[in-house]
């Protein structure tokens, strides 16, 4: 009986983490928090056996991991022209 409750807590944690990551300033931290949030929802998707949800969360997790690794190894290209946070902050 406790198992479904734990899964729902993990799903809620994932939603909160993904929502929180949107507001983080540094991309490195943002990608880590996105990854953890997507992993939480991935495990929830596995438990409810929803194939579309499983695939979506797996892809989002992998993409967050790739972007984090690009930043970590200095391969990530940031386009200042299109960075909305910087544009708004400079006004």
What is the pTM assigned to this prediction? 0.78
- pLDDT, residue 88, reads 60
Full DSSP string of 24-82: -SSHHHHHHHHHHHHHHHHHHHHHHT-HHHHHHHHHHHHHHHHHHHHHHTT-PPP-GGG
**What is the tens place of the pLDDT at every residue in 31-82?**
999 999 999 999 999 999 999 999 999 999 999 999 889 888 888 776 555 5
Domain that holds residue 69: 2-89
- pLDDT, residue 75, reads 80
- pLDDT, residue 28, reads 87
Counted domains in the chain: 1
């Amino acid at each position: 009986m406790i198992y479904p409750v734990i899964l729902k807590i993990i799903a809620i944690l994932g939603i909160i983490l993904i929502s929180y990551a949107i507001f983080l300033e540094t991309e490195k931290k943002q990608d880590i928090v996105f990854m953890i949030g997507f992993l939480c929802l991935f495990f929830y998707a596995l438990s409810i056996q929803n194939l579309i949800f499983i695939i979506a969360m797996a892809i989002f997790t992998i993409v967050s991991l790739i972007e984090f690794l690009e930043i970590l190894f200095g391969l990530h290209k940031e386009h200042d022209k299109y960075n909305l946070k910087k544009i708004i902050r400079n006004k």
